[in-house]
Amino acid sequence: MALSNIKVNKNTIKTQGGVVVLGLQEYKQFLLYEMEREQNDFLVKEALKEEKDGQTKDLGTFLKEQHPKLYENYIN
């Protein structure tokens, strides 16, 4: 593997708190992970707000209304 030099301005390191060098594929995987995590965080926050506001149903009620066949298995 050939080595290359990368120059980073010292002021950039100081003001940014450091730098990170990643391969493109690793960076893309990291980005995808972060986007999924942010989406999951958003969904959890929304669900907790809905629960707090009384907009949710317990599992038994939901199954009884939306999936009666599954509800039969749920109560047995």
The answer to whether the CB of 21 falls within 8 A of the CB of 30 is no
Over the stretch 2-40, which tens digit does the pLDDT of each residue have?
778 888 899 999 999 999 989 999 999 999 999 999 999
- Rounded to 5°, angle at Cα 4 from 33 and 31: 10
Per-residue pLDDT at 1: 64
Q: Where are the domains of the chain?
A: 21-75
End-to-end alpha carbon distance in the chain: 63
Query: How far apart are the C-alpha atoms of 29 and 35, rounded to whole Å?
Result: 10
Q: What is the pTM of this model?
A: 0.56
